[in-house]
Amino acid sequence: DIQMTQSPSSVSASEGDRVTITCRASQGISNYLAWFQQKPGKAPKSLIYAASSLQSGVPSKFSASGSGTDFTLTISSLQPEDFATYYCQQYNSYPYTFGQGTKLEIK
């Protein structure tokens, strides 16, 4: 199985800041990488697919890059609604696997 490792596990930031979250795959997954946002008690929301493509309706403050084993998600100009948990997920091969999550908290 492909293991997905996110860092950091948690990060504190202030409104207006920019943060970057990293996701590493245990083996190459080309660009079959997605990012999700989840708020407490809510379903995940899809943000990014194919490593860098924005889902319809997702604001351009979210950007992502990477290929192979190393990927990043960057969120610029943080607003209160951005504070949530973020997950990466590989869909290169079954079983699909998720990172452990990165909790973005308000400083």
Partner 1 sequence: EVQWLESGGGLVQPGGSLRLSCAASGFTFSSYGMSWVRQAPGKGLEWVSTIDRSGAGTYYADSVKGRFTIARDNSKNTLYLHMNSLRAEDTAVYYCAKHGYDILTGSRGHFDYWGQGTLVTVSS
* Chain residues in the site for partner 1 (CB under 8 A): 32, 34, 36, 38, 43-46, 49-50, 53, 55-56, 87, 89, 91-92, 94-101
- To the nearest whole angstrom, how small is the minimum distance from the Cβ of residue 76 to partner 1? 23
Closest CB to partner 1 among residues 65, 91: 91
- To the nearest whole angstrom, how small is the minimum distance from the Cβ of residue 16 to partner 1? 28
Query: Among 7, 28, 30, 6, which residue's Cα sits nearest to residue 88?
Result: 6
Q: Which residues contact 65 (CB under 8 A, 6 or more apart)?
A: 51, 52, 71, 72
Q: Is the dihedral of CA 12, 43, 7, 48 positive or negative?
A: negative
- To the nearest whole angstrom, how small is the minimum distance from the Cβ of residue 63 to partner 1? 17
